[in-house]
Chain A
Amino acid sequence: MSGILAVLEQRDSRLHKMSLEALAAAQQLGDELGLPVFAAVLGAEPEGLSGYRIEKLHVIEHDLLHRYTPDGYAIALKQVIEKHRPEYVLFPHTYQVRDFAPKLATSFGRVLVSDVVSHRVENGALILVRQLFQGKINVDVQFAGAGPCFASIQAGAFRAGALQAGSAPVEKFTPDLSASQIRTKPLELFRESDRAVDLSAAEIIVSVGRGIREAENIPVVQQLADALHAELAASRPICDNGWLPMERQVGSSGQTVAPKMYVAVGISGAIQHLVGMKGSKTIVAINKDPEAPIFEVADYGIVGDLFQVVPALIEALK
């Protein structure tokens, strides 16, 4: 084959929202590197791919792939990659990809470059950019040695809106899989909270992070939310501590939001939080650390002690 293979994710025949971004990444890299673009999806053929420019869409079907398992997916994809020999294999950086892609890369003696935020091509070589220290520092990496190059793409690094239209002829593939190779038994998916709060419907969100220090201090941020007629949300550690319910969590394991305005109070801006809110139209950050990654995405920011800034803001809003 030679080319770029985008491995897309679906559940119940619906594509994961990041899958289209991974496909856009494959198309863009394909144009820049002069390589054809292929896609693969495991399980059933999903809706929504037929109008995009893909050389071939490999639909990988098997009874043992109805439920996701890392063994099933890694073994099946290994066979597809060995058969078609793509130079690059791209994934969206989803929870599922984090579970099986490193296993797949290892089976080829390769390392997956995970959670890529951007890229460039220099002298024909692909350079990928990752983040270190929870988003504080960037690193440029490139692939070395022979073998397929595996990379997973962070949410929002590429835009599904940039997808090129075309046709996507389907080719079905049945991998060689036996039940004894699948060592884990996945059970039903479930949710724990009832989602009484729909943060995605809020026009303004005021979100609180570790900078608040104690549960007793949260009311001051609630007052700011009230003054702005906003919903209150939080980064993960606040919910883990039980200071706010899980349903108010914004981030990769909670809700993804894109309100008119997102006010991040005492939130450093670790990657897992940013991917849940960086699409917000206006972002305001209040943090005492001028180097906090949240300021990378903020439109407006106040560097200062939130315990002084938040009351001052409530006053100024009156």
Chain B
Amino acid sequence: MKIVVAIKQVPARDSLLKVNSAGTWIEDADLSWEINEPDAYALEAGLQLKERQGGEVVVLCAGPDRASQTIREALAKGADRAIHIESDESGISDPLHLAGIMAKALEPEKPDLVLTGLQSEDFGFGQTGVILAEVMGLPHATIIMNVEAEGSGIRVKRELEDGWFQNVEMPLPALLTIQSGATKLRYATLMGIKKAKTKEVKKLAAADLGGATSSVEVLRIYMPEKTKKSQIFDGPPKEAAAQLVEKLRHEARVI
């Protein structure tokens, strides 16, 4: 089975974010970066499928130079090779544009299965996977907790609201967007890290791959204005606790 896993490098989860003075993006010069968490689960799902079915896992990543780090980490975990779409675009990119570029990059690959995280932790559009499926003409399913090969196709477990789930049978080739949290994530072994150094990373320039023009214009980004009047107690724990209990008893009257 040839499995393509699309991954994204995003600012580390607990980063302190500041909007830049132009209001176009965050100040990202000094941030730490990591793999988008749902994509780590997509990679894990791909690696587990490869272990069961045989085949190869190809990692696809669009991003600037620093994304190489995240690509190498994916290779160290067991992906076989990678495609790095080099793109310097900072700020919010259009998922339709991005999916077009990714589809072009994948044309020679003809994967059996494409896996993406269900959404990215920076933009959070939650659409690139679905758009990619439509552009590539693949059937898809989203927010997937489990994938199993079944006959010539797959059977997937889809998460729904309120504790509900649904199984779906699908043919291959197909695309799935993967939900976080269903399995444990593996760590790269020392051997894996060593092997990663010589695994192939094909570089493509985003500008060469076309892509659609945007139908959505970003006007500005900003810290949300507080609409609710919160009372925050930030003194020493004992004092803060006493103040809070006082308010809950006599102001909010909930205890």
Contact = CB atoms under 8 A, between A and B. Distances in A.
Given A183-B170, A271-B124, A282-B254, A99 B141 contact: yes
Contact of A137 (B17, B94, B125): B17
B104 to A, nearest CB: 15
A184 B161 contact: no
A176 B234 CA distance: 62
Interface string B1-34: 0000000000100101101000000100000000
Interface string A273-316: 00000000110100001110101111111111100110111011
B170 A317 contact: no
Nearest to A247: B163
A58 to B, nearest CB: 23
Given A141-B217, A142-B217, A132 B122 contact: yes
B218 interface: yes
A192 B17 CA distance: 38
Nearest to B24: A139
Interface in B207-248: 212-224, 226-228, 230-234, 237-238, 240-242, 244-245, 247-248
Main secondary structure of the interface of A (DSSP, over half): mixed
A191 B26 contact: no
A184 B231 contact: no
Contacts of B220: 139-140
A138 B221 contact: yes
Question: Which of the four size classes fits the interface of chain A?
Answer: 35 or more
Most buried by A among B19, B171, B224: B224
A60 interface: no
Nearest to B161: A95
A227 to B, nearest CB: 9
B219 A317 contact: no
Interface in A37-78: 70-71
A282 B244 CA distance: 12
Nearest to A144: B217
Contacts of A253: 159-163
A207 interface: no
A109 B166 contact: no
B102 interface: no
Interface stretch (A28-36, A80-88, A254-262): A254-262
B245 A316 contact: yes
Looking at chain B's contact residues, the main secondary structure is mixed
B65 interface: no
A186 B166 contact: yes
B230 A299 contact: yes
A204 B252 CA distance: 13
B130 A187 contact: no
A304 B218 CA distance: 35
A142 B218 CA distance: 7
A249 B134 CA distance: 33
Contacts of B180: 237, 240
B233 A302 contact: yes
B140 A290 contact: no
A95 B159 contact: yes
Contacts of A302: 232-234, 237, 240-241, 244
B101 to A, nearest CB: 14
A132 B232 contact: no
Interface of A: 70-71, 94-96, 98-100, 102-103, 105-107, 109-115, 127, 130-145, 147, 183-193, 195, 204, 228, 236-237, 240-241, 246-247, 249, 252-256, 260-261, 271, 281-282, 284, 289-291, 293, 295-305, 308-309, 311-313, 315-317
17 contacts: A94-B161, A95-B161, A99-B142, A102-B131, A106-B99, A107-B134, A111-B215, A133-B121, A141-B218, A145-B215, A184-B168, A184-B169, A185-B168, A190-B167, A299-B252, A300-B244, A311-B237
Given A114-B126, A187-B168, 10 more contacts: A71-B139, A114-B125, A134-B124, A137-B26, A190-B165, A192-B163, A254-B163, A291-B17, A299-B230, A302-B241
